[in-house]
Chains A and B, each alone.
Chain A
Amino acid sequence: MNWLTSYLNLASAYIKINFKSLLAYRGAFISQMVAMFINDFVWIAFWCLFFTRFPVVKGWGVNDVITLWAIAASGFGLAHMIMGNALALPGIIMRGELDSWLLYPRAVLPHLLLGKSSASSWGDFLFGIVVYAIFVKPDLAHFSLFMALICSVAVLFVGFSVFTGSLAFFMGSAESVSTQLRIAMITFSTYPSPIFQGFVKVLLFTLLPAMFVSHLPVSALRNMSMIDALYSVGGALGVLAAGIIMFYVGLRRYESGNLMEMRG
């Protein structure tokens, strides 16, 4: 229990420090947040237009897609505003920059992930919550479940980023592959899940676990189904476990970069 409290304190300290460092470049931070807000909003506009013309797609309406976007954006945002280094993992491994993280008396992976906050992710996080509150107008029960599912999706995104980023231990230059896989995962996560069938559906429950971002959380919120919510959490924990295993197995292959680095 002491161990958990210690890591929660560490996480809280890192969140504060990272937020302050983002505020040091206030203009850039705000503009990145606003830019991400606009970017996400364009997709909501697209779906509103689409559903104006075609009101239902395989049982999904405009509110379901807005819910989907809200969960995906906020989940992704929460993951990388707290653990921003998850996005930079392949580059860190490839350039041998893990050395400095290995010296700390902390578990390498959580400490490394907490080391940076992604500015644009704050925009994603706020966007999801604002859009859900304004367009879907949830009651307290729905909003509480929504917030819980955001945490589940955030865990999944961290796990997936760690998994794909750890490919760098095995492939060397894995930045491009990792980015492409992440983009594919995000893209599949932001479309109504019933349009995918057959082999692709299996793929989206396994290698590109987008169904744990789109299908299950939306179903959980629509039907207030605790079973679907638990499946979402289970899937997210599974992906996180896979990411952790991949990282520590890969870490055994890691060779020091002999890189002199100072962290302020």
Chain B
Amino acid sequence: MSKYFYIALTSIRSRLAYLGEIGSKTIFLFVVLYIFLCLWKVTYAETNQTSLGGLTLKQMLWYLVVTESIIMSLPTIATLVDQDVRTGALAMQLVRPLSYPLNMLAQTSGERVLSFALNFVVGSIIALMFVGPLDINFQGFAMFLMLLPLSFALDFTIYFLIGLAAFWLEDTTGLTLIYSRMTMILGGMLIPLELFPEGWQQILRVLPFSAIVYGPARAFVTGDLQLFLSVLIQQVVAILVFALVIRIVYNLALRRVFSHGG
């Protein structure tokens, strides 16, 4: 396992060389958080409520800091796999003493961890400026730290599967876009699940999208133990299921790899 750890570490180091590029994206984070602050401020004021969906305005903005940081830290996993398949670079990877899926997981996780950390720090500064510190307890923060890596791993498995679809499809960008937009809307990036219509909430809670975005963010702002346990189980089950699907699809895909010397 240590070799994958070093691949992730190397990925972080190489991304550090492009910190300016990652940093420039935080301008967008600032704009988005400011706009959502304005929107929710007006909504709280017009409804005369101090809490919507179980969150105060302060918690809502911190919730958005986490959800936006998760979404904005996403590396181009599906595109990388798609390109490896299309260009034939995958054949080169297969001769190495590494598992291709785990190598890709390590590489993109390193990039994602760095990008998330930067977004989260900048987002936290913005939230501190606008609404002040969150009354966070150690328990909530610990839950968040446990759920976050699993959220990244689950997101990876789905994007990796989409990338593998390049073996059969002409273009995977459409699938990538559909999945990313479903994660945004059904995962609770823009609105917490509690504010969805009643009938939807039960369905959304069992879909993997909420385990990627909503779960870690909600645990961070509320420290709810029951929520933590249900999201944890949901993440572990979903990762195991998608890992199994990857194994099957990957083995099928490898039969379609043809390489020749040159």
Contact = CB atoms under 8 A, between A and B. Distances in A.
A197 B45 CA distance: 14
A88 to B, nearest CB: 18
Interface in A48-68: 49-50, 52-54, 56-58
Given A57-B42, A184-B31, A27 B170 contact: yes
Interface stretch (B98-106, B121-129, B136-144, B173-181): B173-181
Chain B contact residues, majority secondary structure: helix
B46 interface: yes
Contacts of A31: 171, 173-174
A192 to B, nearest CB: 8
Contacts of B97: none
Nearest to A208: B31
Contact of A184 (B21, B28, B177): B28
| Most chain B CB inside 10 Å of its own CB: which residue of A183, A187, A195 | A195
Contacts of B46: 54, 56-58
Interface of A: 27-28, 31-32, 34-35, 38-39, 42, 45-46, 49-50, 52-54, 56-58, 176, 180, 183-184, 187-188, 191-192, 194-197, 200
Given A39-B177, A46-B190, A195 B42 contact: yes
Nearest to B171: A31
Given A42-B184, A56-B46, A49 B178 contact: no
A57 B43 contact: yes
Chain B interface size band reads 20 to 34
- The main secondary structure of chain A at its interface with chain B is helix
A4 to B, nearest CB: 38
Interface in B191-232: 191, 195-197
Nearest to A184: B31
A15 to B, nearest CB: 25
A43 to B, nearest CB: 9
A180 B196 contact: no
Interface string B160-185: 00000000001101100110010011
Contacts of A184: 27-28, 31
Nearest to B178: A38
B209 to A, nearest CB: 12
Contact of A45 (B38, B47, B185): B185
A239 to B, nearest CB: 19
5 contacts: A38-B177, A54-B47, A57-B46, A188-B35, A195-B35
Contacts of A42: 181, 184-185
Contacts of B28: 180, 183-184, 187
A215 to B, nearest CB: 14
Nearest to A60: B42
A58 B42 contact: yes
B24 interface: yes
A231 B219 CA distance: 47
A176 B39 CA distance: 27
Nearest to A32: B173
Contact of B43 (A34, A54, A176): A54
B53 to A, nearest CB: 9
A58 B24 CA distance: 32
B32 interface: yes
A56 B47 CA distance: 10
